[in-house]
Amino acid sequence: MTDPTNVLVLNAATHSERLAELTADLPVRIVHDPFSITWDEIAGRRAGKIEELTPATDSVREALSEAEVAFGFGFPLKTTELAPGLRWAETPATGFDQLNGTGLLESKVHVTAIGGLFAPWVSEHVFALIFSLLRRLSEFDESQRGSTWQVRQVTSLAGKTIGIVGLGNIGTAVARSAKSFGMNVLGLRRSATRPPEVDRVFAPGGLREMLAQCDVVVLAVTGNDETRNMIGAAELEAMPDHAVLINVARGLVVDEGALVDALRAGHIGGAGLDAFLQEPLPSDSPLWTAPNTVVTPHIAPNVPEKLLRCVEHFAANLRRYCDGQELHDLVRG
């Protein structure tokens, strides 16, 4: 009889019964451990600061020494050195930069993410930020708090142009929603392939040309060295002065100093931000008080069912792994 596959699951014990139910007929031995890392460390990993990663606890060290498969958002420092038999790891996230410093991204271990699972939730948040700005909700909230009836004009999305930087799962979901509001949809991506929801696709070299045509700009690209400060002073200057910028990507995609200057000077109409270069956003950051700016603490996909859906995604992939089939949403390996 073949020995069961050892599986380590980090910080997901709240859904252990559901995972056990979905994998009851699989030849696996699942070990749960509460190991987790702080949001400060997650942000640091994503920014490339990996000098002080949380080391493995004794229980995680023991489990990793036997693990062939692992599931977790934040793995410990030098995971691959502690897990010589590890063949596959899944992270319950759209991106995978929180794995910096674990060794997983430099190894031969297969790494999967959750693909488009979060896309509908993030798209909803994009439009929450857009409506907050264009429907002037913060101003009406201030009037309400002062019991003041203050009539103001608001902006409709119908007929406006939205430019989406990055047409992956999230960008495409945003495009689909934008079409339902009657918007013209532009997109920027490396591939010339045009999704049906997008009216025109620009190559990366056409970024400023696209920005000049937009009433709304949404950032949905991967955060890496190629996209660092992709939106700087020149790009913000290219946008119409009424246009608003929405960032649900990574903070490093935007030159935050240039953004604050553009907002204060009125070079753009506003910003809705759910991602920042430093997270949590420092209390003295000028973004807190920048004109016509909405700040949310990187919570676009933070819905109650998030972890459950991630566990279900992992269970489906674990079945494929046990059956020798290709893993879904492979990002490395």
What residues are annotated to the active site? 250, 279, 298
- Find where tokens 């991967």 sit: 222
| 297 within 8 A of 269, measured Cβ to Cβ | no
Q: Is the dihedral of CA 90, 96, 97, 100 positive or negative?
A: positive
| 51 within 8 A of 77, measured Cβ to Cβ | no
Separation CA 66–CA 233 (nearest Å): 51
Residue 322 half-sphere exposure toward CB, CA atoms < 13 A: 19
| 300 within 8 A of 322, measured Cβ to Cβ | no
The burial class, CB within 10 Å (0-12 / 13-18 / 19+), for 259 is: buried
Q: How many CB atoms lie within 10 A of CB 31?
A: 17
Separation CA 220–CA 126 (nearest Å): 10
Apex 154 CA angle, 152 and 158, nearest 5: 165
DSSP code of residue 202: E
Strand order in the sheet with 330-332: 28-33, 5-10, 69-71, 88-90, 110-112, 330-332
DSSP code of residue 231: B
| 79 within 8 A of 135, measured Cβ to Cβ | no
The burial class, CB within 10 Å (0-12 / 13-18 / 19+), for 164 is: buried
Structure tokens at 80: 């691959």
